Chains A and B, each alone.
Chain A
Amino acid sequence: MTNNRFILKSSPHFKGKDSVPKIMYAVIISLIPAIAASFYFFRIRALLIYLLSVSACLITEAVFLKARKKPMHSLWDGSAIITGLLLAMTLPPSLSLEIVVIGAVVSITLGKHVFGGLGDNIFNPALVGRAFLQVAFPVAMTTWIPPVTNQINTATYATPLGNLKFQAAAAQGALTPLKDLFWGNIGGCLGETSAVALLLGAAFLLYKRAIDWRIPVGIISILTVFTGIFWLTGPDKYASPAFHFLAGGLIIGAFFMATDMVTSPISPLGAWIYALGIGLLIGIIRLFGGFPEGVMFSILLMNTFVPLINRYTRPRILGERSTH
């Protein structure tokens, strides 16, 4: 393991004793703090959405495994459960429950099985489901409620990034305090509000080496640089990099979604390219796009480039000569 050049890699690139279920269950464990935080902030609604999302994913997966005559035990490899959990974590807590089910079914169907199932999907399935819901139910998907622990009496409630984009919060000094962003006492999607809970889980994943550290590091550094430049030139118009790091879906996206084994590049160089692309796109959408948040679209867009990135960053096999 001293010289990377002698390692022949192909997807899925786990080494040693790691198996698909083992990695998957590490991911599930790492999500527990954030899920617990969403129970705390949104109570019974959170529970219902998680339950429905995960069970709808499992049922859809079972139907497809049956129809495609695949072994039923792969239902429990954890991938469908992760899709269900991640989807639920990216949904607004006030979403009607039938929409949750539609999202879960779409995730597994259009996100995974139309491509041939786990390992062949191009996009992160949970994000496919979320993107579908975002376009299908734009109003319901952008209607937010404050957490139970932070009751503010307003008819409509905005996310910190929504405030930044639509209410010119930076100019009025009305940006959500970083402390609230860190603990999660804010409006937003179920599992993305509490930065500290997500970071705990992310640390566990990094410790277990279940994810490629280059991807979150790359995304966060380029976003910090990008938003930092604008912040320095106009602090009354743009939010600080720290705000951009803690707000919205950046942490959950960078650590838990962009790092999906199947839909991220294989080689280290590829991972860097992929991460820089995501980070830059997030910055551009957040600062100049029509939507307040761009994590989902950025990851999905860069997912489409992964086959191309893999092709051009394939490590050379021992003894192989350059064909150019």
Chain B
Amino acid sequence: MPSKSVGAEYIKGLWEENPVFRQLLGMCPILAVTNAVINGIAMGLATYFVLILSSVVVSSIKKLIPSQVRIASYIVIIATFVTIADRFMAAFFPPISKSLGPYIPLIVVNCIILGRQEAFSSKNSVGRSLVDALGMSTGFILALLVLSSIREILGMGTFLGHQVMGAWFKPWIIMILPAGAFITLGILLAVALVIESETKKRKN
């Protein structure tokens, strides 16, 4: 069923089918770990790793898995890569692993990953699944970056730990708390909707 070019398959994950802004998936990590840019990047890379490997594995063994047990198999495959990512971070990046806490293991239940296996990798070739996974995880990283930049700059006056706001700036502590995540995400979703409807209007 290849209907799109490979390029389009990649690009769709960035905006048109962006997992966060358009599909509203992966809300738990997007809300929980975006209080600092470094956490956002770490979460993004871990998801990148898990999504790509799971997609490749699932699409290559899709014919072997009976459909009745597909979800169970996907979850085991995803959990394996998540555990690898978690242990790896704890071993080589202990401070980041500490600040992300339980959210790395929780990638297992990130709907973006299971969703892509079910919706895409289980029906497409290995190559296409890889491109799709690359696009989706890049879209996810972009969303994490946007959200965490806004929250860190407003909430702490810093970007990646460097002071970017002048001494006059009083940090908005609400932005690094969960409430700030919901407010920022809500505003970003509204902006995404406006952009989408404006571009549609222009096309017509």
Contacts and interface: CB of A to CB of B under 8 A. Distances in A.
Interface of A: 96, 98-99, 102, 110, 114, 132, 135-138, 140
Nearest to B155: A136
Contacts of B170: 96, 98-99, 137, 140
A113 to B, nearest CB: 11
Contacts of B179: 135
A99 B169 CA distance: 10
A102 B175 CA distance: 13
Contacts of A98: 170
Interface in B164-202: 170, 172-175, 177, 179, 183, 186, 190
B185 to A, nearest CB: 13
A115 B186 CA distance: 12
B172 A110 contact: no
Contacts, number: 21
* Most A CB within 10 A of own CB, among B173, B175, B186, B190: B173
Contacts of A136: 172-175
Q: Main SS of the interface on chain B?
A: helix
21 contacts: A96-B170, A98-B170, A99-B170, A102-B172, A110-B183, A114-B186, A114-B190, A132-B174, A135-B173, A135-B174, A135-B177, A135-B179, A136-B172, A136-B173, A136-B174, A136-B175, A137-B170, A137-B172, A137-B173, A138-B173, A140-B170
Contacts of B183: 110
Contacts of A140: 170
Interface in B108-151: none
Contacts of B173: 135-138
A96 B169 CA distance: 11
A106 to B, nearest CB: 9
Interface residues of B, number: 10
B168 to A, nearest CB: 8
Nearest to B172: A136
A132 B174 CA distance: 7
A200 B190 CA distance: 43
A96 B170 CA distance: 10
Contacts of A96: 170
Contacts of A102: 172
A99 to B, nearest CB: 7
Given A132-B174, A135-B173, A137-B173, 16 more contacts: A96-B170, A98-B170, A99-B170, A102-B172, A114-B186, A114-B190, A135-B174, A135-B177, A135-B179, A136-B173, A136-B174, A136-B175, A137-B170, A137-B172, A138-B173, A140-B170
B66 to A, nearest CB: 47
Contacts of A138: 173
A280 to B, nearest CB: 24
A135 B177 CA distance: 9
A114 B193 CA distance: 13
Contacts of B172: 102, 136-137
Contacts of A135: 173-174, 177, 179
A110 B184 CA distance: 11
* Most B CB within 10 A of own CB, among A135, A136, A137: A136
B61 to A, nearest CB: 46
A318 to B, nearest CB: 42
Contacts of B190: 114
A94 to B, nearest CB: 13
Nearest to A138: B173
* Most A CB within 10 A of own CB, among B170, B175, B183, B186: B170
A110 B190 CA distance: 12
Nearest to A133: B174
Counting from the closest, the 10 A-B pairs by CB-CB distance are A136-B174, A135-B174, A136-B172, A136-B173, A135-B179, A132-B174, A138-B173, A137-B170, A135-B177, A135-B173
A175 B174 CA distance: 32
Nearest to A140: B170
